[in-house]
Amino acid sequence: MRVAPADERIVTRYIEDEMKESYLTYAMSVNTNRAIPDVRDGLKPSTRRILYAMGESGLVHNRPHDKCAAVVGEVMKNYHPHGDGPIYETLVGMAQDFAMRCPLIDGQGNFGCFTGDTEIKLLDGTEKSFEELAKLEPDEVFYVYSVDENGRVVIGEGLNARVTRRNARLIELTLDNGETIRCTPDHKFMLRDGTYRAAEHLTEDDSLMPGYLADLGFGNSEFGIKKTNPKSEIRNPKSRADVYDITVDKYHNFLLTSGVFVHNSIDDDPPGAMRYTEARLTEIAREMLVDIGKNTVDFQPNYKESTTEPKVLPAKLPNLLINGTTGIGVGYLTKIPPHNLGEIVDGAILLLENPDVSIDELIDIIPGPDFPTAGLIVGRDGIRDAYTIGKGSITIRARSVIERQKNGRERVIISEIPYQVKKNALLDRMYNLVENKTITGITDIRDESDKQIRIVVELRRGEISQVILNRLFKHTQMQVTYGAIMLCLVNGLPKVLNLKEMLWHYLEHRKEAIRRRTQFDLEQCRRREHMLEGYRIVLDKIDDVIQLIKGSESSAAAREQLMSTFNLSKEQTTAILDMALRQLTTLAQKDINEEYNNLQKRIASLEEILKNPARIQQIIKEELLELKTKYGDDRRTEIIDEIGDFHIEDLIADENMVITITHERYIKRIPVSTYQRQRRGGIGVRGMQMKSGDFVEHVFVASNHQYILFFTDRGKCYWLKVFEIPEAGRTSRGRPVVNMLRIEPDENITAFIPIREFDEEHYLFMATRKGIVKKCDLQQFSRPLSSGIIAINLKEDDKLIGVKLTDGSRDIFLVTRGGKSIRFKEDEVRSMGRTATGVKGIRLSKDDWVVEMDVAREEASILTVTENGYGKRTDISEHTLQKRGGKGLIAIKTTGRNGSVVGVKMVADGDELIVISSNGMVTRIALTDIKVISRNTQGVTIMALQPDEQVVDIARIAAIDDSESEELTELDESEN
């Protein structure tokens, strides 16, 4: 047993007590000094010290950048006794515009690029190396060739050529044109398809994006993409060299003289070493430090007591809510999301003017977080929880659109990703899901991002894009949950706050800062006032003063006599004795008097501010509005309603859409706003691009949440919401309807009905190939199933040929292939259930069948076309009413000349007829060119056919009068 020396003090304690006390001390130190932000300025100690050190070093927005290594060294030396790695990581984070809503650090320099002798093709026809361009001023612009998001060569603005890495490892690429390029292995080259690949991963099979300039002069010069495919050969030279980069802000790529475009990435790559990167404060960061020299905040000794540092910054900017923060302490986690500056300013002003404002009223102004990466916030409950109780779960989604390509395939374009999601990690997850067949139907995933996110997911033909998109939301980081915890330090202790409390603490901090600033300014003014009063006393008796000074034995004697004779203070007397003779001029005396009078007003104003809290509130309001005017921008993150288990309908506004369906059953929807108002005589807009033989057959307006009922020849009905129809441009064909419904391969769509409301006043009237008709209440079709429902129970070898929406009092018209027609009252058919077979509508002859069913209109005529190209129009009145189930009347003679009937339409003057032959020929005829003749005739030639050719189908193109076209294409001029 060791015997302790007499001077050694040993205290016996239970280890549990020692561990508890020591751990609590450590935990409190970590939480208050490292992990949790202060509610007043929204900063953790590390970020506060970096900003203060940079401000003290003069690294402001209008001064040149300095090496990050110098900043880190200054912070570590004087303020932050931790390693340089964490300090540099914190500094880099404050410069990332994808991490902070309003970055506080302006950084430059990141990745290595090319050797200094690598040349860039410039717009003026010259070719300059990186070394030559680096001699220019950083802000001096030079023009380069770039590629935009559409693959077109455009003009880019280059600037700030600089060394980004010293003595970097290089690789050498040899192009098939013989040119060689030396660059760092991680630099990315643009490929022909618009994607990018690092130099070290290029192979001879890769086709780089080439640049071909036919004429470098101005005027009629042309330039574009060369048709050849450069290949590359890579060698790894032993040499090292300094490497350079330039900045091309908008397009972020440029053309090398060697003939290829190169590109900088925005991926989650680590920053360059601090000795190569540079930084300075952004302009908005100065708002955090404003008036710090006016005793606005308390200071404390630094860790080695060699200088002082602020306990908190004045923070004119409400940084805590604008930029948010994340911190992990001991037993605590803080995760405050960023917000829109303008909204936070408006909310702070509302609370300033009305301290009793409710959180609901604040939420009306501050609807939710506003992330720098934009995206979509799904649902408002999580936001409300975070704002009311300080904790909430916020769902964030990527922004995506579905595009239809000319080849008929669709693709998903992702243009924004959720906050704090790394693009590379998202892509890797997508690749794995496709490779593991967790998600099928994806043929390709491409990263076409430059300075903006653009991920392209190509889909297999026939896939339902919305289903695949939902699976991506479910299985990838395209949808994430942000767990907001509004924890911060209040009076040095961690506390979870609601939105109102956070704004209140910020405003109280600003009130104190402005009060202390005003007191500081008042003291300075009073000191100056005291000096000016002494000047004024002396100047009023300047001759006596001069005589006194001249008669004094020494300056000390002169000081004493001045103080006693004119009742001056020591400070006044010293200032008077230090006055220059030029201050005795009349003009100088006038300036002193003017300054004194202005100072009196300034002092009165400052005293009024200190006496009147309302004046302080007004100053805060004015400063906040100034911040909003100077730095405010539009909201980036869109907030949408909760969609539950990916019910797409909740995301879609119930707005009117123009639905077009082609003869070959391609369908699409277009917003009504796409069609701008045009009066008669307008030049119109470009329409759909159709494949040969297809044409637009139906155009109607329906709202996004309406249904379209589709009926198949097997007697089944399928539903499709309008918003489920792919939205496409005017020139797009759309998508095949059969690919959007779960129909069998040999099942064909024969009719469709747009439904506004499943009411009790309408019916669906159906007819089959074998002459069976049936009427059902529309309400029977109000409960959709994705697999479809039975609309009519068909007999063997029968098919459904038509469905019409009626009101129960119309005349029904049936026409057969043999030229017979029947017209009967709809009320002769009672309403039946969905599974009923129906009743006989017309008695058919052997080998005859019904080819058309329609609802008779008194103003219409009947157009009948036969397979040999003949047809006629007959007045509806010639088709007299009969009883249901009769043989009917002759609609057209089906002689050997005419052949059988292939189509019948209800038409009117102004309509047009499309006739399609077996050889694929299409004829478009105005109905006014076809005369109205009697029923019992053979008709006239509609289409001239070849000997082996027959008419196989017809379609009616309805006329649209001026009022209808204006209703369809109207976009109120007041909105333009």
What does the pLDDT read at residue 218?
28
Residue identified by tokens 């960023």 is 338
Rounded mean pLDDT of 60-74? 88
Is the pLDDT confidence value at 926 over 90? no
What does the pLDDT read at residue 799?
93
Residue identified by tokens 């916020």 is 394
Q: Please, which pLDDT band fits residue 689 given cuts at 50, 70 and 90?
A: low
What does the pLDDT read at residue 750?
86
What is d(CA 905, CA 860) in angstroms, rounded to the nearest whole number?
A: 10
| Cβ pair 730, 670 in contact under 8 A | yes
Q: Is 631 a catalytic residue?
A: no
Q: Please, which pLDDT band fits residue 452 given cuts at 50, 70 and 90?
A: confident
What does the pLDDT read at residue 166?
65
Nearest to 217 by CA among 122, 119, 121, 124: 124
Q: Could you give the C-alpha distances from 597 to 328, 579, 592, in angstroms and in order?
A: 56, 20, 9
Q: How far is CA 337 from its chain centroid? A: 18
What does the pLDDT read at residue 221?
33
What does the pLDDT read at residue 154?
87
DSSP-assigned beta bridge partners for residue 120: 128, 256
What does the pLDDT read at residue 552?
82
Is the pLDDT confidence value at 764 over 90? yes
Torsion of CA 824, 829, 834, 835, to 10 degrees: -100
Mind listing the pLDDT tens digit for each residue in 962-972?
Answer: 333 333 333 33
What is d(CA 601, CA 964) in angstroms, rounded to the nearest whole number?
A: 71
Instruction: End-to-end CA distance of the chain: give it in Å, rounded.
Output: 95
Q: What one-character-per-residue DSSP string does 612-657 give? A: -HHHHHHHHHHHHHHHHHHH-----SEEE---TTT-GGGGS---EE
Is the pLDDT confidence value at 515 over 90? yes
What does the pLDDT read at residue 215?
38
Is the pLDDT confidence value at 112 over 80? no
- Return the higher-pLDDT residue of 129 and 966: 129
Rounded mean pLDDT of 40-46? 92
- Return the higher-pLDDT residue of 285 and 966: 285
Q: Please, which pLDDT band fits residue 111 given cuts at 50, 70 and 90?
A: very low
What does the pLDDT read at residue 962?
38
What does the pLDDT read at residue 969?
36
Is the pLDDT confidence value at 265 over 60? no
- Return the higher-pLDDT residue of 971 and 553: 553
Mind listing the pLDDT tens digit for each residue in 699-729?
Answer: 677 788 888 898 999 999 988 888 778 777 7
Is the pLDDT confidence value at 401 over 80? yes
- Least trusted range by pLDDT, from 64-73, 97-106, 141-150, 582-591: 582-591
What does the pLDDT read at residue 675?
54
Rounded mean pLDDT of 151-178? 80
Is the pLDDT confidence value at 407 over 60? yes
- Return the higher-pLDDT residue of 70 and 226: 70
Nearest to 474 by CA among 574, 378, 553: 378
Catalytic residue among 276, 387, 419, 535: 276
Q: What one-character-per-residue DSSP string does 466-527 give? A: HHHHHHHHHHSTTEEEEEEE-EEEETTEEEE--HHHHHHHHHHHHHHHHHHHHHHHHHHHHH
Rounded mean pLDDT of 211-225? 39
Mind listing the pLDDT tens digit for each residue in 415-444?
Answer: 999 998 988 789 889 988 988 888 888 988
What does the pLDDT read at residue 583?
67
Q: Could you give the C-alpha distances from 759 to 44, 722, 762, 779, in angstroms and in order?
A: 63, 19, 6, 6
According to DSSP, the β-strands at 735-736 and 800-806 are unpaired
- Return the higher-pLDDT residue of 130 and 723: 130
What is d(CA 109, CA 246) in angstroms, rounded to the nearest whole number?
A: 9
Torsion of CA 549, 555, 560, 566, to 10 degrees: 30
What does the pLDDT read at residue 43?
93
Mind listing the pLDDT tens digit for each residue in 864-923?
Answer: 999 998 988 888 888 888 999 998 888 888 888 889 999 898 888 888 888 888 887 878
The angle, 0 to 180 degrees and rounded to 10, between the axes of the packed helices 465-475 and 423-435 is 120
User: 3-class DSSP state for residue 931?
Assistant: coil
If one counts every other C-beta atom within 10 angstroms of the C-beta of residue 190, the result is: 24
Q: How far is CA 317 from its chain centroid? A: 25
| Cβ pair 377, 394 in contact under 8 A | yes
| Cβ pair 610, 515 in contact under 8 A | yes
Is the pLDDT confidence value at 131 over 50? yes
If one counts every other C-beta atom within 10 angstroms of the C-beta of residue 947, the result is: 4
Rounded mean pLDDT of 79-95? 88
Is the pLDDT confidence value at 448 over 80? no
DSSP-assigned beta bridge partners for residue 671: 657
Q: How many residues does the chain have?
A: 976
Apex 524 CA angle, 523 and 525, nearest 5: 90
Q: What pTM, to 2 d.p., does this model score?
A: 0.56
What is d(CA 43, CA 689) in angstroms, rounded to the nearest whole number?
A: 57
What does the pLDDT read at residue 690?
54
Q: What's the burial of 156, exposed, middle or buried (CB within 10 Å: 0-12/13-18/19+)? A: buried
Mind listing the pLDDT tens digit for each residue in 379-390?
Answer: 999 999 999 999
Nearest to 145 by CA among 119, 172, 173: 119
Is the pLDDT confidence value at 544 over 50? yes
What does the pLDDT read at residue 744?
81
Q: Please, which pLDDT band fits residue 826 given cuts at 50, 70 and 90?
A: very high
Q: Please, which pLDDT band fits residue 5 given cuts at 50, 70 and 90?
A: low
What is d(CA 432, CA 864) in angstroms, rounded to the nearest whole number?
A: 58
DSSP-assigned beta bridge partners for residue 300: 309
Q: What's the burial of 184, exposed, middle or buried (CB within 10 Å: 0-12/13-18/19+)? A: buried
Rama region for 287: left / alpha / beta (φ>0; ψ in -120 to 50; rest) = alpha
| Cβ pair 680, 721 in contact under 8 A | no
- Return the higher-pLDDT residue of 939 and 727: 939
User: 3-class DSSP state for residue 737?
Assistant: helix
What does the pLDDT read at residue 773?
94
Q: Which residues contact 743 (CB under 8 A, 6 or more apart)?
A: 712, 716, 718, 749, 788
Is the pLDDT confidence value at 91 over 70? yes
Nearest to 725 by CA among 773, 785, 790, 657: 657
Rounded mean pLDDT of 70-80? 92
What does the pLDDT read at residue 918?
82
| Cβ pair 334, 321 in contact under 8 A | no
What does the pLDDT read at residue 119?
93
Nearest to 885 by CA among 924, 857, 920, 843: 843
If one counts every other C-beta atom within 10 angstroms of the C-beta of residue 511, the result is: 16
What does the pLDDT read at residue 691?
59
What does the pLDDT read at residue 913?
84
Tokens representing 827 are 């009320």
- Return the higher-pLDDT residue of 139 and 670: 670
- Least trusted range by pLDDT, from 360-364, 669-673, 752-756: 669-673
Q: List phi, psi (to 5°) of 110.
A: -145, -70
Q: Please, which pLDDT band fits residue 262 given cuts at 50, 70 and 90?
A: confident
DSSP-assigned beta bridge partners for residue 749: 712
- Selection from 517-531, 556-570, 589-603, 696-710 with the highest mean pLDDT: 517-531
Mean pLDDT of the chain: 82
User: 3-class DSSP state for residue 334?
Assistant: strand
What is d(CA 533, CA 248) in angstroms, rounded to the nearest whole number?
A: 59
What is d(CA 158, CA 914) in angstroms, rounded to the nearest whole number?
A: 56
